[in-house]
Amino acid sequence: MKARWDIFCSVVDNYGDIGVTWRLARQLVAEQGCAVRLWVDDLRAFERMCPEVDVQAAQQWQEGVDVRLWPAHWPTTPAADVVIAAFACQLPPDYMEAMAARERTPLWMNLDYLSAEEWVVGCHGLPSVKFKGVQKYFFFPGFRPGTGGLLREAGLIEQRQAFQRDSQAQQQFLQDLGVVPMAGARLISLFAYENAGLASWLEVLAADGQPTHLLVPEGRILGDVQRWLGVEALGAGQVHLRGALTVQVLPFVRQEQYDRLLWCCDFNAVRGEDSFVRAQWAGRPLLWHIYRQDEDIHLDKLDAFLERYTEGLSPAAKGALIALWQAWNTDADMGANWKMLLEHWPEVTAHAEKWCLEQALQADLATALVHFYENWI
Ligand code: TRH
**pLDDT for residue 156:** 98
Indicate whether residue 217 lines ligand 1 (CB < 6 A): yes
Q: How far apart are CA 30 and CA 3, in angstroms?
A: 13
Residue 349 and residue 213 in contact, taking contact as beta carbons nearer than 8 Å? no
Q: Is 191 in the pocket of ligand 1 (CB under 6 A)?
A: yes
pLDDT at residue number 13: 79
Residue 311: active-site member: no
Nearest CA to ligand 1 atom 24: 19
Task: Specify the pLDDT at position 343.
Answer: 98
- Number of helices (H), then strands (E), belonging to the chain: the values are 15, 14
pLDDT in tens, 225-244: 999 999 999 999 999 999 99
The predicted pLDDT at position 72 comes to: 85
Active site (annotated) includes residue 17: yes
Cβ(33)–Cβ(43) below 8 Å: no
User: What spacing in Å lies between the alpha carbon of 14 and ligand 1's midpoint?
Assistant: 6
pLDDT, one tens digit per residue, over 85-130 is 999 899 999 999 999 999 999 999 999 999 999 999 999 999 999 9
Domains and CATH numbers, the chain: 4-151+363-376 (3.40.50), 156-359 (3.40.50.2000)
Query: Residue 80: what pLDDT?
Result: 98
Distance 375 CA to ligand 1 centre (A): 32
Phi first, then psi, for residue 269 (nearest 5°) are: -95, 125
Mutate to test the pocket of ligand 1, among 14, 113, 140, 250 (most ligand atoms within 8 A of CB): 14
Measured in angstroms, how far is the CA atom of residue 61 from the centroid of ligand 1?
A: 22
Give the atom of ligand 1 at the shortest distance from the alpha carbon of 254: 29
215 CB within 6 A, ligand 1? no
Q: Phi and psi for 61 in degrees, rounded to 5?
A: -100, 130
241 Cα to the center of ligand 1, angstroms: 28
Measured between alpha carbons, how far is residue 287 from residues 5, 114, 134, 211, 266 in Å? 35, 16, 41, 19, 12
Strand spans (E) along 166-211: 186-190
Pairing of strands 245-250, 239-242: antiparallel
The active-site residue, picked from 66, 112, 117, 273, is 273
Cα–Cα distance, 31 to 34 (Å, whole number): 8
DSSP 74: P
The verdict on the CB of residue 275 being under 6 Å from ligand 1 is yes
Q: Above 90 in pLDDT, residue 78?
A: yes
Give the neighbor-by-neighbor strand order of the sheet with 186-190: 239-242, 245-250, 212-217, 186-190, 267-271, 286-289
Alpha-carbon separation of residue 26 from 35, 78, 111, 173, 372 (angstroms): 10, 21, 16, 24, 18
Cβ–ligand 1 contact at 218 (below 6 Å): no
Question: 99 CA to middle of ligand 1, Å?
Answer: 31
pLDDT at 25 over 90: yes
Distance CA 105, CA 316 (A): 54
Instruction: Answer yes or no: is the C-beta of 291 below 6 A from any ligand 1 atom.
Output: yes
Residue 152 has pLDDT above 90, yes or no: yes
The one catalytic residue among 6, 17, 81, 364: 17
Instruction: State the pLDDT confidence band at 312, using cuts at 50, 70 and 90.
Output: very high
Residue in 177, 275, 297, 302 to alter for ligand 1 test, most ligand atoms within 8 A of Cβ: 275
Does the beta carbon of 22 lie inside 6 Å of ligand 1? no
Q: What is the pLDDT of residue 12?
A: 87
Q: Is the pLDDT of residue 1 over 90?
A: no
> Given ligand 1 and candidates 111, 193, 274, which is best to mutate, with the most ligand atoms within 8 Å of its CB?
274
Q: What does the alpha-carbon distance between residue 8 and residue 89 come to, in Å, rounded to a whole number?
A: 7
pLDDT in tens, 160-205: 999 999 999 999 999 999 999 999 999 999 999 999 999 999 999 9
